[in-house]
């Protein structure tokens, strides 16, 4: 029964020992000691687990015992927590001016403010205050004109008296408009000696660059300020840049020195004649922009003057020209940008097409002569293309109605407007607002009824496609050719030649612009 190989305590297994205890009668070989009541309670409490895992055996007696323990601990912590009432304590009295000055001296503020924030140490009886301190005979400083700032206000902030600042502004305005002085302009100011501390220092010297080609200088002579104009020589030779397109036009142009705004203008100009996607890596660009070089070293670039493209089989040469109040890019033949008719003159969705349909209000079928676009009430309506207002007013079932006449016998109509924005007989441009969406006349809700006419007969707006171009002629064409020839004479690093006199096409000039 008792073997050392058995698992248990002593020389035998636990099972064998338990069986033996039960087999032997009480009192056999030893005295039985019975536990006391307190020992039995301790043994029972030792088996009770007060803090079980609340994530296991959810709903059992042990779990509810742990939940009760958690609730008791939280309640005890809440009951024993201190209150949030403020602690009553005496507040220090407010510091006086001298005490505050002493505190500032001992802080880091003197270093931050240039060591000008008070006395360096407390004053004693040995310190005798000065009745007066000497001033510097003059003060040199720099003032900067901010965006939206006033010229006289800048001088006033620098320490100039209001009356003298107004006088200086009047002198400068006689030489250049104060509004033309660019924000960020730096002014060298010298303030002179004053008779006492109760008045502002007089202005002895003022110098600044009023324009790219002009510097203004004011000096005090015999007690009065004298304005002196100092012209700055400027070379306004246009800047001509040529190069190969390569893998990317923008990258190649920027590497060649073309400003970003000129690249944007070039792409818009060329895009009106050819598709940008048609450009090849071997195509060469030719760009001329306004450029100014001052004798002091500064440079300034302006707008794009000439946009050229050489594709070998085709050459594009464009310059900007204004005709009838419209500025466009014209090619060498004097032909402007092509403009097509807008197919949707309002921002909205197509709700009804052209053709026979049952009228929603009249109840019978009839020809719907246009397109209906659903749009919110008050949305702007734009002119489809350039034209003349033939009618603007109330027109029976159309309600508020505008009709435009265009070139080539084409007309457009816009109905059911809430408000008309153009008078009869007025000339309008493509994209100009002519009215606002409404629901006047025979209408079931806010929308635009858009019609297109050819020789007075309504046609499907989706079926028409025509373009409109500007063509220079007469004196305008002559001046245009002269300007083009002048720009074509600009060499890389050479000055533009004076414009030749206007003359008919012919000879070398005809070859240049053909």
User: What pLDDT is stored for residue 114 in this prediction?
Assistant: 52
Going along the chain from its start, the domains and CATH numbers come out as: 139-231 (3.10.450.350), 239-338 (3.10.450.350), 349-466 (2.70.70.10)
Residue 118: band (very low, low, confident or very high) from pLDDT cuts 50, 70, 90: very low
Query: What is the C-alpha separation between 354 and 324, in angstroms, rounded?
Result: 35
Those residues with Cβ within 8 angstroms of residue 422's Cβ, 6 or more apart along the chain or in another chain: 389, 392, 402, 428, 432, 434, 435
Please list, residue by residue across 113-151, b when 16 or more beta carbons sit within 10 angstroms of its beta carbon and e when fewer do: eeeeebeeeeeeeeeeeeeeeeeeeeeeeebebeeeeeb
Residue 322 has pLDDT above 70, yes or no: yes
Name residue, tokens 């293309």: 385
- Max distance between CA atoms of the chain, in angstroms, equals 148
Q: In sequence order, what are the beta bridge partners of 299?
A: 293
3-state secondary structure of 235: strand
Query: What is the C-alpha separation between 465 and 451, in angstroms, rounded?
Result: 14
Query: What is the C-alpha separation between 223 and 201, in angstroms, rounded?
Result: 13
Query: What is the C-alpha separation between 436 and 56, in angstroms, rounded?
Result: 71
- Look over the chain and give the mean of its residue pLDDT values, rounded to a whole number: 78
User: What pLDDT is stored for residue 123 in this prediction?
Assistant: 64
Mean pLDDT of 94-120: 63
Query: What is the C-alpha separation between 18 and 506, in angstroms, rounded?
Result: 133
Q: What is the DSSP letter of 178?
A: G
Residue 11 has pLDDT above 50, yes or no: no
Query: What is the C-alpha separation between 382 and 9, in angstroms, rounded?
Result: 104
User: What pLDDT is stored for residue 13 in this prediction?
Assistant: 44
14-39 pLDDT, tens per residue? 444 444 444 445 444 556 667 788 87
Query: What is the C-alpha separation between 476 and 486, in angstroms, rounded?
Result: 15
DSSP codes of every residue in 269-323: HHHTTS-GGG--TT-EEEEEEEEEEETTS-EEEEEEEEEEEE-SS-EEEEEEEEE
Residue 486 has pLDDT above 80, yes or no: yes
Q: How many residues does the chain have?
A: 514
Q: Which two tokens stand for residue 67?
A: 């939940």
Closest CA to 308 of 300, 319, 316: 316
Residue 403 has pLDDT above 90, yes or no: yes
CB 447 within 8 Å of CB 435? no
Mean pLDDT of 306-315: 86
Mean pLDDT of 334-355: 72
Query: What is the C-alpha separation between 294 and 212, in angstroms, rounded?
Result: 7
CB 277 within 8 Å of CB 239? no
Please, what sign has the CA dihedral across residues 13, 14, 16, 20? positive
User: What pLDDT is stored for residue 420 in this prediction?
Assistant: 93
Please list, residue by residue across 171-201, b when 16 or more beta carbons sit within 10 angstroms of its beta carbon and e when fewer do: ebeeeeeeeebeeebebebbbeeeeeeeebb
User: What pLDDT is stored for residue 418 in this prediction?
Assistant: 92
Strands 410-420 and 433-437: what pairing? antiparallel
Q: What is the DSSP letter of 471?
A: B
Residue 499: band (very low, low, confident or very high) from pLDDT cuts 50, 70, 90: very low
> Within 10 A of 437 (CB to CB), how many other CB atoms are there?
24
Closest CA to 97 of 119, 114, 113: 119
User: What pLDDT is stored for residue 361 in this prediction?
Assistant: 57
170-188 pLDDT, tens per residue? 999 888 888 888 888 999 9
Taking CA atoms, 448 is separated from 34, 343, 361, 389, 422, in Å, by: 106, 13, 16, 17, 16
CB 291 within 8 Å of CB 301? yes
User: What pLDDT is stored for residue 388 in this prediction?
Assistant: 93
Entry pTM: 0.48
Query: What is the C-alpha separation between 372 and 77, in angstroms, rounded?
Result: 73
- The fraction of the chain above a pLDDT of 90, given in percent, is 13
Of 78-87, 412-421, 485-494, the range with the lowest mean pLDDT is: 485-494
Query: What is the C-alpha separation between 285 and 243, in angstroms, rounded?
Result: 6
Residue 150: band (very low, low, confident or very high) from pLDDT cuts 50, 70, 90: confident
Mean pLDDT of 286-309: 88
Those residues with Cβ within 8 angstroms of residue 179's Cβ, 6 or more apart along the chain or in another chain: none
User: What pLDDT is stored for residue 281 in this prediction?
Assistant: 85
213-237 pLDDT, tens per residue? 899 999 988 888 889 999 989 888 8
Q: Which two tokens stand for residue 435?
A: 């009215």
Residue 389: band (very low, low, confident or very high) from pLDDT cuts 50, 70, 90: very high
More confident residue, 312 or 119: 312
């Amino acid at each position: 029964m008792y073997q050392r190989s058995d698992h248990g305590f002593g020389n035998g297994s636990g099972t064998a020992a338990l069986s033996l205890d039960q087999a032997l009668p009480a009192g056999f070989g030893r005295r039985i000691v019975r536990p006391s009541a307190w020992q039995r309670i301790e043994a029972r409490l030792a088996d009770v687990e007060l803090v079980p895992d609340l994530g296991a055996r959810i709903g059992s007696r042990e779990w509810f015992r742990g939940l009760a323990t958690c609730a008791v601990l939280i309640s005890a912590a809440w009951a024993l927590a201190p209150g949030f009432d403020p602690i009553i304590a005496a507040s220090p009295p407010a510091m006086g001016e001298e005490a505050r000055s002493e505190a500032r001296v001992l802080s880091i503020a003197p270093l931050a403010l240039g060591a000008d924030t008070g006395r360096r140490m407390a004053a004693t009886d040995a310190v005798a205050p000065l009745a007066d301190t000497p001033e510097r005979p003059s003060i040199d400083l720099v003032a900067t004109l901010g965006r939206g700032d006033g010229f006289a206000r800048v001088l006033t902030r620098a320490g100039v008296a209001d009356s003298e600042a107004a006088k200086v502004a009047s002198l400068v305005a006689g030489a250049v408009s104060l509004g033309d002085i660019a924000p960020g302009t730096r002014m060298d100011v010298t303030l002179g000696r004053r008779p006492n501390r109760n008045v502002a220092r007089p202005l002895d010297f003022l110098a600044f660059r009023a324009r790219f080609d002009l510097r203004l200088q004011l000096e005090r002579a015999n007690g009065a300020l004298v304005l002196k104009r100092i012209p700055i020589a400027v070379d306004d030779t246009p800047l001509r840049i040529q190069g190969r397109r390569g893998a990317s036009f923008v990258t190649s142009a920027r590497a060649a020195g073309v400003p970003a705004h000129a690249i944007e203008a070039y792409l818009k100009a060329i895009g009106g004649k050819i598709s940008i996607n048609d450009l090849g890596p071997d195509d060469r660009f030719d760009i001329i922009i306004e450029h100014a070089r001052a004798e002091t070293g500064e440079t300034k670039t302006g707008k794009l003057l000439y946009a050229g493209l050489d594709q070998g089989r085709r050459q594009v040469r464009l310059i900007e020209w204004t005709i009838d109040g419209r500025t466009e890019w014209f090619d060498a033949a004097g032909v402007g940008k092509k403009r097509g008719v807008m197919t949707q003159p309002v921002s909205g969705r197509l709700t009804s097409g052209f053709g026979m349909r049952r009228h929603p209000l009249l109840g019978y079928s009839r020809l719907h002569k246009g397109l209906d676009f659903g749009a919110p009430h008050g949305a702007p309506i734009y002119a489809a293309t350039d034209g003349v207002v033939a009618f603007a007013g109330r027109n029976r079932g159309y309600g508020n109605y505008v009709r435009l006449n265009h070139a080539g016998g084409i007309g457009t109509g816009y109905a059911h407007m809430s408000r008309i924005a153009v008078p009869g007989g007025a000339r309008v441009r493509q994209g100009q607002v002519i009215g606002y969406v409404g629901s006047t006349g025979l209408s079931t809700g806010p929308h635009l009824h858009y019609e297109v006419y050819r020789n007075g007969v309504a046609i499907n707006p989706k079926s028409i496609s025509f373009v409109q171009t500007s063509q220079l002629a007469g004196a305008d064409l002559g001046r245009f050719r002269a300007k083009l020839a002048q720009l074509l004479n600009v060499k890389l690093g050479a000055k533009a030649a004076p414009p030749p006199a206007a003359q008919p096409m012919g000879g070398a000039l005809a070859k240049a612009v053909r």
